[in-house]
Amino acid sequence: MDAAKGINVMCHNEGHILDYVGNEDKMNTAAGLICIPTTSGTGSELSNWIVISDLETGAKHPINVINSMAEYALLDPEL
């Protein structure tokens, strides 16, 4: 889910995803995301946070993607 949300953010914003760590207010609204979780019950499809790894430093950074959350979630408990 984090990858899908991050891709959605970058489809509507310029730069690098790490540019938005602590700068979420500079992020444009990114509509149109549909999440289909394959692990029932985690709720990550509804979360407004993602964690992005900086491959150069190994650090992990939380980003609030409140303006880029999923608009729809297709839930199938058999997945």
What is the percent of the chain where pLDDT is above 70? 99
* pLDDT score of 77: 78
More confident position, 76 or 72:
72
**Max CA-CA distance within the chain?**
39
* pLDDT score of 49: 92
Q: Looking at the predicted structure, is the pLDDT value of residue 41 above 80? A: no
CB count in 10 Å sphere of residue 33:
20
Question: Pairing relation of β-strands 49-53 and 60-64?
Answer: antiparallel
* pLDDT score of 13: 94
Instruction: Kindly give the residue spans of alpha helices, DSSP state H, lying in 1-79.
Output: 2-11
Q: Cα–Cα distances in Å, from 62 out to 50, 76, 77? A: 6, 27, 28
Q: What is the pTM of this model?
A: 0.84
